[in-house]
Amino acid sequence: MIRHTVVFNLKHPKGSAEEKKFLEDALVLTEIPGVNAFEQVRQVSPKNDYSFGFSMEFNDQAAYDGYNIHPKHVAFVRDRWVPEVSDFMEIDYVRI
């Protein structure tokens, strides 16, 4: 199992309609085959500067690879992520 996580900030003002729309539109990622346990979370700790997080799980490397090249993922990254995210950190985990 691979857990794919990303924490990020948006260029939009906090609480704005644009912020809400971005988060709603990100749900398209749940339609991609192989995406399991998708979560959107809001940061509440003062220990880092990121505001949001996405987390999802994949059964194996093939499912994760398929997600990365899926047209819905590619379009979301191109059309929404790149223009609207100001900074991010991505971490992928496997159980040990």
CATH number of this structure's domain 2-36+56-94: 3.30.70.100
Domains in the chain: boundaries: 2-36+56-94
Please write the tens of the pLDDT for every residue from 36-76: 999 999 999 999 999 999 999 999 999 999 999 999 999 99
Please write the tens of the pLDDT for every residue from 3-12: 999 999 999 9
Please name which of 36, 79, 71 lies closest in space to residue 57, comparing C-alpha atoms.
Answer: 36
One-character DSSP codes across the chain: -EEEEEEEEESSPTT-HHHHHHHHHGGGGGGSTT-EEEEEEE---TTSS--EEEEEEESSHHHHHHHHH-HHHHHHIIIIIHHHEEEEEEEEEE--
User: What pLDDT shows up at residue 53?
Assistant: 98
User: What pLDDT shows up at residue 52?
Assistant: 98
Q: For 7-19, what is the mean pLDDT? A: 97
User: What pLDDT shows up at residue 85?
Assistant: 98
